Amino acid sequence: MEIYLVTSNPGKAREYGRLLKRIKVKQLSLKIPEPTKGTVKEISLVKARKAGKTTDKPILVEDSAFFIYGLNKLPGIKTDRLTKKFFKGSYAGWIKKLDKKNSKNRKAEALTVITYSYKGKTKTFSGITKGRVTTQEEYEKNYRLQQKLQKKLNRKVGFGFDVIFIPSGFKETMAVLDLKRKKDKISMRAKACRKLIEYLKAKSI
């Protein structure tokens, strides 16, 4: 079967293609207004319902958030917008903000909610990966390793909060784990995709 992922990012479409395995994922570029309020699930549902009105194809809409506990769970649902607003798009700014607050709580969570929409019906699937925000020293060390691996493998990664997020049980950032082909086993997106696959199997879609 084919599913259309609503995104302007071809890299994300390729990642979904890997995660969904035998399901063919195609990119569908739509301009959908981004809700500024609500939970991650609510935002994903709103976007999916709007996108569903524009096509009769089965679609996926994703919304993600990054919660830093030492910053009262900021940036949350406004991850991209606040990073651009405060740090000109550099996620390393959250490390400095956490250090400036002198918080010892570096706990963080990454949440993804995928909404599957087809023929007016919707179903959501969520995935959470727990971990922590790097220290400045860890960030610099991982960034150097990331650059080295990218050059060696001729593959660019490290988008969003992956560059500052170390999943529980690991010593490297999600960006480095991506280059080492370990991200697909532990990421919040992968966990949500596995639930989607089981749902589609049960529905014999």
According to the model, what pLDDT value does residue 28 have? 96
Burial grade of 24 (CB within 10 A; 0-12, 13-18, 19 or more)? exposed
pTM: 0.93
According to the model, what pLDDT value does residue 157 have? 78
Q: Which of 146, 64, 145 is nearest to 108 (CA)?
A: 64
Structure tokens at 135: 């220290």
**Domain range summary for the chain, segments of one domain joined by +:** 2-202
According to the model, what pLDDT value does residue 190 have? 96
Low-confidence ranges of the chain (pLDDT < 50): none
| Domain 2-202 CATH class label | alpha beta
- Cβ atoms of 114 and 196 within 8 Å: the answer is yes
According to the model, what pLDDT value does residue 31 have? 87
User: What is the C-alpha to C-alpha distance for residues 94 and 89, in angstroms, rounded to an integer?
Assistant: 10
